[in-house]
């Protein structure tokens, strides 16, 4: 048991998936919430990206099963297209899921969304959001207020 805990600590979310609670069940997912571009809090992203990302704090929910759900909005720095994603992060396993997408119109619900390890995906914004604000190690932060405070005033810490 001690060896398994040491492996999880050293290897991070990918190995956490191997040792996760097999009885874990995701709580029912409500429909995608309404969001407002005027409330977006920017996510710090690498400067080479042509997209800006922001999260609407009014859409964030921390569920009893450890999933944090939210709406993130991506827009082109040069103007033009804006896309929104209704996503969930599971800090315990380093995974994310996209429940729905919108390109300014109605939400398009993902038919069979699956949990995917976000560091292995091309989901730079999810990894940035998890490390900057949503997760503290393998658990969600204590409150939405704490999450938003960390986005507004980034603090680099060793989790």
Inform me whether the pLDDT recorded for 45 exceeds 80.
yes
Q: What is the mean pLDDT of the chain?
A: 85
CA distance 113 to 100: 9
pLDDT at 47 over 70: yes
* Mean pLDDT computed over 89-96: 96
Q: What is the pTM of this model?
A: 0.82
- Asked if residue 5 has pLDDT above 70, the reply is no
Question: What per-residue confidence (pLDDT) applies to 9?
Answer: 41
Residue with tokens 């995906």: 121
Cβ proximity of 137 and 159 under 8 Å: yes
For the cut 70, the answer to whether the pLDDT of residue 120 exceeds it is yes
Spell out the domains of the chain, with CATH numbers in brackets: 35-152 (2.40.128)
**Encoded tokens for 139:** 């658990």
- The fraction of the chain above a pLDDT of 70, given in percent, is 84
């Amino acid at each position: 048991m001690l060896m398994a805990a040491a492996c999880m600590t050293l290897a991070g979310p990918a190995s956490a998936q191997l040792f996760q609670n097999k009885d874990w069940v995701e709580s029912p997912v409500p429909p995608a919430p309404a969001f407002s571009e005027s409330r977006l809090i920017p996510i710090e992203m690498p400067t080479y990206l042509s997209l800006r990302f922001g999260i609407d704090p009014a859409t964030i929910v921390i569920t009893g099963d450890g999933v944090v759900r939210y709406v993130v909005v991506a827009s082109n720095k040069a103007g033009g297209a804006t896309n929104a994603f209704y996503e969930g992060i599971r800090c315990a396993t380093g995974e994310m899921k996209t429940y729905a997408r919108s390109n300014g119109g109605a939400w398009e619900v993902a038919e069979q969304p699956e949990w995917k390890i976000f560091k292995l995906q091309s989901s730079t914004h999810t990894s940035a959001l998890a490390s900057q604000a949503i997760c503290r190690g393998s658990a969600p932060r204590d409150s939405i207020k704490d999450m938003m405070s960390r986005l507004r005033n980034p603090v680099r810490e060793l989790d």
